[in-house]
Structure 1
Amino acid sequence: SGSHETIDVSQARIIEDIVDQAEVALENKVPRDVFITASTGAGKSVMFQIPALYLLAKHPEARPLTMIISPLIGLMTDQVDSMMAHGIQNARTINSALAPSEREEIVQQIKDNEIDLLYLSPETLQNQADITAIIGDRHIGMIIVDEAHTVVTWGKSFRADYWYLGLYLQKLRKTQHFPIVTFTATATIGGKSDMFREIRDSLNMIDPIRYIGYVKRDDIDIGITQLPTLKGKDSLEVKVSLLAKRLQVWLRNGEKTLIYFPTVTLLNTVKRNIIANVPKLEPQIRAYYGNMTPPEKLNSLNDFKDGNALFMFATKAFGMGIDISDIKNVYHYAPTGDVVDYVQEIGRVARNHDLVPRGNAIFDYLKADDFKYVKQLHGMSTIKTWQLKDAMKKILELYKTK
């Protein structure tokens, strides 16, 4: 309607729309897709998990399979573990951390109707020229694209499979009807960077029902401080000293804190310096970044989640959708990306108000020094020659299959 007025919409209303469109598809008709934005911690996962389970109960003969496209192994594992902890045993993930035997077992369970919610990355999905290699003759009930902003942010830079996801799903829809349902906390709507329009067009969404939610978190206090000029002091020494002081305060107060870094090199440099300057902090610090082994990541995640360590030093590999209920502070040592990344990352705090009523987002920055990382990250994410060749190869493969 063009109106900017907000109204209260229950999760039940959104769930009902998702179920309605999935049932349209089960009648072999073309459904509408659904596009949803809601704040971090708003229970987006529940809004597709409940429809998936409801459809299974109502249509046992069809036994529709829900496939969730997710960007991070940690996020997939976290959601599957959470469902299993609540007694839901028919959810699994296929990802690169699995041994071949584990993968084969899960694929067989899918084909045998024992698994009904499947989490996987866009790369894992598109590596299958024929989807039946994973799902056999199962009917797809819904395709969920979780953290959908990555379709156009990561898809344009370092994960080209997100950019081609829409073409793959379009091809799937030639043989099956199913709704595409997207969820994100950080899609910009309207203006020059209209992420809704880009996601809709990239995924070839069909007349999507839109729920544009209130994404601002009123339970986060943001403190951004510009530090005085260095006047000959070393920037690393200044920033490490300040962070060490903050960590000691948070340790005394028992405040679980996530510290973000733009690069692995900077993370490890700061970590070494912090431990050298304040050895008592070492037992409380864990790290999490992309090129750690899966067991290393899992151990760090579990120690932080279970309270065996108060501080997590992380890159953006630790973020979207990872649900740890009692994080009090998110501290940015330096910028890790754009505003979309920042909103996602500070959204890790105060996920359970009974444990943490309010959270803090803190950034102490040196104007002349810290924002160089934004330029550096943009340089790292520009399209490389090998990526262009890979993209051209995918286009050729798609052309040959049509």
Structure 2
Amino acid sequence: MSDFKSILTRFWGYSAFRPLQEEIIQSIDDGHDTLGLMPTGGGKSITFQVYSLAKPGICLVITPLISLMKDQVENLNKKGIKALAIHSGLSQQEIKIAFDKASWGDYKFLYLSPERINTERFKDNLSNMEVNLITVDEAHCISQWGFDFRPSYRKIKELRKLLPGVPVLALTATATHEVEKDIQKQLDFKKEHVLRESFFRENVVYVVREREDKMQYLLQSTQRAKGTGIVYVRSRKLTKEISEYLKRNRISADYYHAGLSSLNREKKQNDWKSGKTRIIVATNAFGMGIDKANVRFVIHFGPADSPEAYFQEAGRAGRDGNKAFGVMIYGKSDILTLKKNVEKSFPEVEIIKKVYQAICNTFQLAVGYGINQTKDFNLGEFASKYNMQIQQVYNSIKILQREGYLELTSEADNPPRVNFIVTRDDLYKFQVANSSFDGFIKLLLRSYSGLFSDYVPINEDLLAKRAGLSMEVVSRFLSHLSSYKIIHYIPRKNTPYIYFPKERIDISRLKISKEHYADRKKDYQKRIEAMIYYATQKLKCRSQVLLEYFGETDSVRCGKCDVCLERNELGLSKLEFDQLAQEIKKILKDACTFEELIMKLAGNEDEKINVIRWLMDNGKIVHRIDNKLEWK
């Protein structure tokens, strides 16, 4: 293990591993297939990165999050560690070059989006790679019971046949016991082996507030709170409305959602990360791959639609280990909206079929064609063209995705790239013959290295500033050089794309199974109910409610959430309170008066009265018309 520690110190500057990291690394080193359960911000990536750096060969990292891929590849390259990423947002030539590098270029990490595993190009190149580990990030995506199931993850199992003897490390921050078992089954674990860190976040204080005037409470909260924060909302429209409301009240804020241009999103994200903007108001598009340690609060302006999503988003607070807050503000209308989401999330089967047919027609895919094709897809434009509701289209696509007909990637943000496709001698001849391009070509070559061997991301804004030109003129220069076949220029693209893992089928053969419709609807209903219970119950520690959802039934009260603080005022320990509450519950199987209840209970009278009053205030004991009390 000393080699692993020296690598940790050399590349990351840490003298010791965080909880569970060392155990996971040792488990893989012993040859065990391993499922690592670590909370958001727990340092999952260090486990496979440190292990693979200590071994000869390359680590395959499968993840659906393109932004996370890019961040990790960039961070590894900055440390002098050779890493690259391949996903369907790249051109075919870029994918070819990347596979060649992975096969022959002494690279240590190859990040792959799951749909690439099924391609012939990947399988052909795999035999040239010495693979030391298969890492499956966001492993809950492989389980049909997971909250973000992706059928392409099921193809990972086939890697085991191609790479016998190579251990598998599966990592996730959110998995129930049911999902844990399914992950291991789907990945063909030789033996069940889970290493689990408690999801308990000692430094995060959970608070829930029911308020009809949510905006006023949000303003008061952000005025009182110190440091940087995130406010999660459920619509793009609200991101702008709330950020402008905060700014009108002299609070530094900005908004973020997937519909903004990539340059705009990048600027807003960087302003927030650097501290220039204090609060970012965002949809759930914000957060994946963003590692900002000193977030002091995460506020949900209304409930998330599952405990998994809530825990992951709230978990972005306090990654530095210092005190932070996870706050949820909701009104009665939010609970009604959440309940209605169940029906909205499962459109009628005929509508789902209509969406599938319209998508295939849009891309002019004939029946029997389209397998492994990737197409740019603008959800808003598509919905408008076919006069459909965006949410209806999106939810239909999610069900089609579960059935394996197509997959939607909503966060493909690719910067502009350039690759010189002529030799240096031919380039020199072109510069001599076309003097108007000479200065710009020299600027490109001075600004970036590797342009002759690879597709290099460029910053058009930076080039424009250095050349004293507008960005439009820079883009024109690049386009002209591309048309002259001097460079291959790929403009910036942030359009989501749809991937077709199988050929188009006739609509009469399209089946929506009970497993992926009725069963999932029932499962989604349970998640909604669990979220509503978390928000509305006032008897149990917030942290305990979340932990129990993820299977941790032996956790203790946090002592800091809004429920715990109110109970703390009673002056009783958890054990004393629970014993009294259980006794009261037994007695009130048969309704009785307040005085009769006091008489039947043993113990200190003040304590008995305080607990009864507390239970009445929080709706567990109700007062009937006949003046008797009963347990609700």
Query: Aligning the two structures, in what range does the TM-score lie when normalised by the shorter sequence?
Result: 0.7 to 0.9
Deviations 1:231-278 (A, max 9, x none): xxxxxxx3333323433444xx3x11111123xxx2323522541574
Tell me the secondary structure at the aligned position of residue 172 of structure 1: helix
CA distance in 2, matches of 1:299, 1:286: 11
The offset of 1:182, in angstroms, is 0.8
Alignment of 1:349-360 (within 5 A): 349-353=317-321, 357-360=322-325
Within 2, Cα distance between the matches of 1:95 and 1:300?
Answer: 25
Q: Name the CA shift for 1:346/1:274 in 2 (closer, same or farther; >3 Å).
A: closer
Matches within 5 A, 1:135-174: 135=126, 137-152=128-143, 162-166=150-154, 168-174=155-161
Relative contact order higher in (CA < 8 Å, ≥ 6 apart): 1
Q: What whole-Å deviation, never above 9, does each CA across 1:103-131 have from its counterpart, x for those lacking one?
A: 444333212224221222223434x2442
By how many angstroms is 1:285 displaced?
1.0
Tell me by how many angstroms 1:361 deviates: 0.2
Q: Label 1:187 to 1:276 Cα distance change in 2 as closer, same or farther (>3 A).
A: closer
CA contact (8 A) 1:267 1:313 kept: no
Q: Tell me if the contact between 1:329 and 1:349 (Cα under 8 Å) persists in the aligned partners.
A: yes
Q: Which runs of 5+ in 2 are unaligned?
A: 1-17, 357-399, 407-499, 505-632
SS at 1:35's partner residue? strand
Q: 1:311 to 1:147 in 2, by over 3 A?
A: same
Given that residues 240 and 274 in structure 1 are in contact (C-alpha distance below 8 angstroms), is that contact kept between their aligned partners in structure 2?
no
Provide the secondary structure at the position in 1 that maps to 2:332.
Answer: coil
Change in Cα spacing, 1:77 to 1:394, as seen in structure 2 (3 Å) is closer
Rounded to whole Å, the distance in 2 between the matches of 1:278 and 1:11 is 42
Question: Residues 247 and 253 of structure 2 are in contact (CA less than 8 Å); yes or no, is this contact kept in structure 1?
Answer: no
Query: Does structure 2 conserve the Cα–Cα contact (< 8 Å) formed by 1:74 and 1:318?
Result: no
- Indicate how the Cα distance of structure 1 residues 116 and 224 shifts in structure 2: closer, same or farther if over 3 A, else same: same
TM (norm. structure 2) is: 0.49
Cα displacement (A) at 1:389: 7.0
| Displacement of 1:14 | 2.0
Name which of 189, 194, 215 aligns with 1:210: 194
Aligned residue pairs total 344
Amino-acid identity (%): 25
Determine if the alignment matches structure 1 residue 79 to structure 2 residue 79. no
Change (3 A) 1:92 1:249: farther
**Structure 2: how far apart are the matches of 1:325 and 1:130?**
39
Q: Within 5 A, what are the aligned runs for 1:75-224? A: 75-85=68-78, 87-98=79-90, 102-126=94-118, 128-132=119-123, 135=126, 137-152=128-143, 162-166=150-154, 168-177=155-164, 178-189=166-177, 194-224=178-208
Residue 394 to residue 110, structure 1, CA distance change in 2 (3 Å): closer
Shift of 1:136: 6.2
Q: For residue 337 of structure 1, what is the aligned residue in structure 2?
A: 305
Who wins on radius of gyration, i.e. which is larger? 2
Q: 1:246 maps to which residue?
A: 221
Contact preservation (8 Å) 1:188, 1:196: yes
Q: 1: CA distance between counterparts of 2:267 and 2:48?
A: 28
- CA separation of 1:287 and 1:16: change in aligned 2, threshold 3 A: same
Q: Against the structure 1 CA distance between its residues 364 and 283, is the aligned structure 2 distance closer, same or farther, given a 3 Å change threshold?
A: closer
RMSD: 3.2
Which residue of the partner structure matches residue 241 of structure 2?
Answer: 272
For the pair 1:19 / 2:19, whether they are aligned, the reply is no
Give 1:137 shift.
Answer: 1.4
List aligned pairs for 1:33-44, cutoff 5 A: 33-44=33-44
Once the two structures are TM-superposed, the CA of residue 315 in structure 1 deviates from its matched residue by: 2.4
Superposed CA deviations along residues 151-177 of structure 1, whole A, max 9, x for unmatched, are 2268676x5xx33423x2232222222
Describe the shift of the 1:394–1:102 C-alpha distance in structure 2 as closer, same or farther (beyond 3 A).
Answer: closer
Matched with 2:274 is 306
Question: Which ranges of structure 1 fall in alignment gaps of 5 or more residues?
Answer: 1-7, 22-31, 57-62, 231-237, 398-402
In 2, the alpha carbon distance for the partners of 1:378 and 1:40 equals 30
Provide TM-score, normalisation by structure 1: 0.74
**What is the distance in 1 between the residues matched to 2:63 and 2:336?**
29
Q: 1:369 aligns with which of 334, 343, 347?
A: 334
Report the Cα distance in structure 2 between the residues aligned to 1:337 and 1:19, rounded to whole angstroms: 38
Provide the secondary structure at the position in 2 that maps to 1:174. helix
Aligned partner of 2:36: which letter?
I
SS of the residue 2:329 aligns to: strand
How far apart are residue 146 of structure 1 and its match?
1.3
| Distance of 1:220 and 1:260 partners within structure 2 | 17
Q: 2: CA distance between counterparts of 1:125 and 1:295?
A: 30
Residues 303-312 or 371-380, more deviating: 371-380
